[in-house]
Amino acid sequence: MVAFDVTSLVPASVWNEGPTPGALQEMLDSIDKHTEQVRSDLFYNMMSSLAGSADPSVLKAMASLDGISSSSGTEQWVAQHANKYMEMQEHVAKLQAELKAAQAAADLEATLKEFKGFLDNGQFNDAAYHLVQLRKILEDTSSSSSSDNGGYSKGSMPLASAELMQLQEACTHCTRDLEEALESSLAEAFDCALDHGVITITSALPGGGDVGDLWGAMELAGSAERHLAAIADKLLQQVLPHVLNGTALLHCQLSGESEARIQWYAAQPQPDGSFSTEHVEQACMQLLALLAQALFRQRPSTLREFGGCFWGGFVGQYQAAFLQQVQGSSVALLQARQEAARQMEQQAVAVGLAEPGSDLASCLSRAIQQSYHVVQEQYLAEARELLASHDRLAPPVVVGQPLPLDAGFYQRYKEGKVKAWEVLDPPSGWDVSGPVLATGYYHVSATVLQQVMMIDDALAHACHQGDISMAQAIVGAVSKMSAMFSSMLPAPAAADAPSLALLRHNDLQYLAGHLLVLPFLFGPELKALLGSYVWLGNDALRLRGAARAAFNDVVSGQQASIRQELQPLLQWSAALAAGKPMPPKEAEAAAAARDKATPATLYTLRRAGKDLWGTLAPGVALEASQQLLDTLAGLLVGDVLKKQDIGESEAYELVQLYRPLAEKAVQELLGDVDLSSQGSLEGLDLRDLVAGALRHRCGVLRKLDAVLGLLAARLAAIVDAWERGQLAAAGLSLVEVRRLVVALFEDTDYRAQCLQRMECCE
């Protein structure tokens, strides 16, 4: 550090005149001037050290000082030198880019010249190697060009872009020239005269080089797979199909080391019109050996790639031809063909066309098994055709047997000697000694009957053939046919066509029931073949599940219709409970809707009953009818029991509104359906029996009758009915009866005593 004498900044006037104002001002000016000089020197030294780094951002910052510095300051000098330095850097970068482009152009020209020379001399491997190198240079140049575009040098960008375009054009031309040369040479090496049945293979290329070099060049250029696939397609499509089916004889000849011929010509049929396939495997082995030696020159990579294009298709064609030829063949012939196929595959593995472990003999065993699959597919095709021709509007067919009824039970029923528990508990008038599967008459489609006949014919055929694999295939076909019946036939919309939806329910149930009896029809024969009984219970359960879904959809739709038709009645009841007068027009409209609700609801029941009892078996129709009556009665009972205060006039009007529905619902639901043929007993009116069964089974309907009776009863009569157990038998609980009593009668001591009596009797 250099010592600085501060006294040098003190002017002589201070020493001479003393600290006068003028002398002091002169001294301050001297100090300011020295401070500016020191600051400029420090700034210059700092900028000089930063400029040496050649950082573009620093140079740009230094150049920008020209606009903010004084006209004679140090900053202006720094800015001028920074601009000059930046211009020199850009000029040097431009010269370097031009030199690089010139060198690249010279290198490219030399590479293209070498490529052309190799191509003209038939040195395809060297030409392909140069093309690969050229592609690598193009890839590297593209990557470096994209990264260099972010630099500060603008002059290098056009040169890099021009260089890249030149490389791309060169690669395109070289690729095209090489591909044309390779295709031309391959056409000379593999000359196909398919119309004349001749393929000539020339190993030594007329233009120079060997066919092995040709494949090496194709592998480097990335075009070998395409050409190998084309050769495989010609063999598989034009040559081998005729050889494998015996209609053509194949002759392979190798002439020296440079030429081979493959010829095929028409074979003479045998006396029975068939063609001999005795020498098929031997001819195929000669073909594979000739291709490996003459065309592919035993190149492992080429043979492996050709095998990937050829071997799978060949195995498929051989397997298909074998499958057609072994129909009706003896076991000895099948074994001989399998052994010949094993030898052929061993040769393919030895030359590298096939991978070890792909057992062709096993494929032939699978081909034999496939013949059973063909039989299965035939049955499935027939089933598809049947289902595709299904006419949903075709007239249904009546099936079933009359219900086996107990004559003694119904005689006592007519005399009124049958108790309620006898109706509710099995056998409920059923003759247990009658047919087990007799469930009455019902409708099914003609399609399901044909499907059942088809299943029976298929299993009968399996039993007649006596072949284990055939039996397994046909049993599998039966399972698939049942699944097809459920999935292929479209389910009708329950809301739009309830009768068709119910018919689908019957079809599915009918097919499921038949699947369950198949073990009894064909069990012994199939057990002898398969070692166990055939059980299709899971398929039957799936069909029954689909049938139940169709049934539930229909019943749900009918229940929704009943709810919709009852809405005017329920709304009128709510208006009565509210006790508020409605405007005249609204009251008139509500009364009109109320008057139409009961006939509309009864009509809905009649229409639903026609669909149910006209399509379903009696037991199923009885179940659906009970659900509809439960819905109807449940809505009415719920409406009455939820009321907290019921006046005398309101109770009377509720009885007048709901009593017709409670009394006529069962008869309207049965409608005009003829049930006379459903039972096995003559002279028995099944209609009355079904109506009685409905009333017995529909507990909510009995509950509705009891509730309507309570609306018009005296309090003493209600207490007496409860004590006798009549209300409990009708399904009313103490809570419900108590709620109804509180709503009907005023709060008096007598009402409290009556409620106490009922609670004591519980």
Q: What is the pLDDT of residues 509-531, one digit of tens each?
A: 999 999 999 988 888 888 888 88
CB 500 within 8 A of CB 442: no
Measured distance CA(309)–CA(228) in Å, rounded: 7
Report the pLDDT averaged over residues 723-741: 92
**Of 226 and 166, which is predicted with more confidence?**
226
Asked if the model's pLDDT at residue 408 lies above 70, the reply is: yes
User: Which residue, 216, 18, 237, 209, is CA-closest to 131?
Assistant: 216
For residues 349 and 360, give the distance between their C-alpha atoms in angstroms, rounded to a whole number.
Answer: 11
Percent of the chain with pLDDT over 70: 79
Q: Give the pLDDT mean for 651-673.
A: 91
DSSP state of 679: B
Q: Read off the pLDDT band of 156 (50, 70, 90).
A: very low
pLDDT of 153? 42
Which of 52-61, 362-371, 528-537, 584-593 is predicted with the least confidence, judged by mean pLDDT?
A: 52-61
What's the distance, CA 111 to chain centroid? 54
Tokens of 323: 């499958």
Averaged pLDDT for residues 737-757: 93
Helix (H) or strand (E) holding 674: none
Residues composing the chain:
762
Return d(Cα 313, Cα 207) in angstroms, integer: 33
SS3 248: strand
- pLDDT (tens digit per residue) in 207-221: 667 888 888 878 877
Whose tokens are 């792909």? That residue is 358
pLDDT band at 152 (very low <50, low <70, confident <90, very high): very low
pLDDT band at 62 (very low <50, low <70, confident <90, very high): low
Beta strands 397-401 and 198-202: pairing type?
A: unpaired
Q: Report d(CA 309, CA 174) in Å as an integer.
A: 27
Q: How far apart are CA 6 and CA 35, in angstroms?
A: 12
- Whether the CB-CB separation of 276 and 270 falls below 8 Å is answered with yes
Torsion of CA 663, 666, 671, 674, to 10 degrees: -130
138-150 mean pLDDT:
62
Name the pTM for this structure.
Answer: 0.57
pLDDT at 728: 92
What are 649's strand-pairing partners?
Answer: none
Asked whether residue 544 carries a pLDDT value surpassing 80, the answer given is yes
CB 557 within 8 A of CB 498: yes
Confidence of residue 638 (pLDDT cuts 50, 70, 90): very high
Measured between alpha carbons, how far is 46 from 445 in angstroms, rounded to an integer? Answer: 103
Question: Which residues have C-beta within 8 Å of that of residue 721, sequence separation ≥ 6?
Answer: 710, 713, 727
Buried-exposed string 405-416: b where 16+ CB fall within 10 A, e elsewhere: bbeebbeebeee
Identify which has the larger pLDDT, 334 or 508. 508
Quick one: pLDDT band at residue 165, thresholds 50, 70, 90?
confident
Residue 331: both structure tokens together: 């076991």
Confidence category of residue 707, pLDDT binned at 50, 70, 90: very high
Most confident range (mean pLDDT) of 42-51, 80-89, 239-248, 249-258 is 239-248
pLDDT class of 276 with cuts at 50, 70, 90: confident
- Beta-sheet pairing, 248-255 with 397-401: unpaired
